[in-house]
Amino acid sequence: MRPDERKTNELRPISVLRHFTNKTPGSVLIRAGETMVLCTASVSSKLPAWMDPEENRGWVTAEYSMMPGSTSPRKSRERGGKIDGRSSEIQRLIGRSLRAVVDLEKLGPRAVTIDCDVLQADGGTRTLSITGAMIALLDALHSIEEFQNMVPGDPDFPARDYAAAVSVGLVEGEPRLDLCYLEDAAAEVDMNVVMTAGGRFIEIQGTGEEATFDENQLAALLALAKKGISELTEIQKNGG
C-alpha cells in the first residue's frame, strides 16, 4: 500500500489556480498532493547580454527556489544571488524543458523568465515546477496581443506543444507513478521524465539508488510516466 493509498499508476490529486497574483502576466499556484509550487512568468524586451539583437529571436529561462518554510527543518534562504547546486541544476532543467517546445524565432525579441518557488515540498518539486511553468508560460504569451487566442501547435504561436513532467520509481520492486517524499526516499530507482503532449521525450533523469534496473523495468517506468504526463497535459490544455 502506498503512503497515501493511491494505486501504483495514479497521480496525486492535482489542483491549478491561475492568475494567483496580479503582478505578472503568468501566475500559477499548482499543487500535487502536499507539494505546492508558485510559478510566475514575466515578459521583457530586454534580452540576455550574450544574445545578438539582430537575430530577432527571444529567450526563455527559469529560476527555481525552495522557500525556507517549504521543508521541516527550515531550509536556509538563498541570498546574494548564490544558489546551491541542486537549485541550479533544477532551474536549468526547467529552462531546457520549456525551450524544447518554444520556437524562439516566433517569440521574437522578447525574454520570458519563469520563477518557480516551492511553497511546500513533499516530493516531485522539479517535475511539478515544469508542469506549472508551462501553464504560466502560456498565460504570459497570451498577454502579448499578437498571440492572443492561440494554442500550442498554431502556425504563428511560439509554443509548438505542451510540456509536462512527472516522477516514477521502483519502490519495493514495484513501479510507481508520481512519488511522494516517503516513496522517493525509499526508492531503489528514481526517475524524472519530461515529455510533450505529443508523446515525445524532452529529458529523462534516471538513477539506481544503490540498485540496478533492467530493460523491462525501464519500459514499465516509461509507460507509467507517459500515462501520467498524458493526464497532466490534458489539465494544461483545459487551463487547469
- Give the pLDDT score at 49: 93
Model confidence band, residue 80 (pLDDT cutoffs 50, 70, 90) = low
Average pLDDT (63-81) is 85
Write down the pTM of the prediction.
0.95
**Quick one: cell of 71?**
521543508
pLDDT tens for each residue of 154-204: 999 999 999 999 999 999 999 999 999 999 999 999 999 999 999 999 999
Contacts of 207 (CB under 8 A, 6+ apart): 189, 190, 191
- Rounded mean pLDDT, 112-139: 98
> For 94-104, what is the mean pLDDT?
98
Residue whose C-alpha is closest to residue 200's, from 179, 167, 235, 229: 229
Handedness of CA 226, 227, 232, 234 (dihedral sign): positive
The predicted structure's pLDDT at residue 71: 86
Residue predicted with more confidence, 30 or 73: 30
What is the number of other CB atoms lying within 10 angstroms of the CB of residue 161?
18
Report the first-to-last Cα separation within the chain, whole angstroms: 29
Mean pLDDT of 62-67: 94
* Pairing of the two strands 14-18 and 26-32: antiparallel
Report the DSSP beta bridge partners of residue 174: 171
Domain ranges of the chain: 14-237
> CB under 8 Å to 212, separation ≥6 — which residues?
none
List the single range of 32-36, 112-116, 125-129, 209-213 with lowest mean pLDDT.
209-213
pLDDT(143) > 90: yes
Confirm or reject CATH 3.40.50.300 for domain 14-237, answering yes or no.
Answer: no
Q: In what order do the strands lie in the sheet with 189-196?
A: 174-177, 163-171, 189-196, 201-208
Asked whether 189 and 169 are in contact (CB, 8 A), the reply is: yes
Q: How confident is the model at residue 72 (pLDDT cuts 50, 70, 90)?
A: confident
pLDDT at site 81: 65
What's the pLDDT score for residue 100? 98
Cβ neighbours around 225 below 10 Å, total: 26
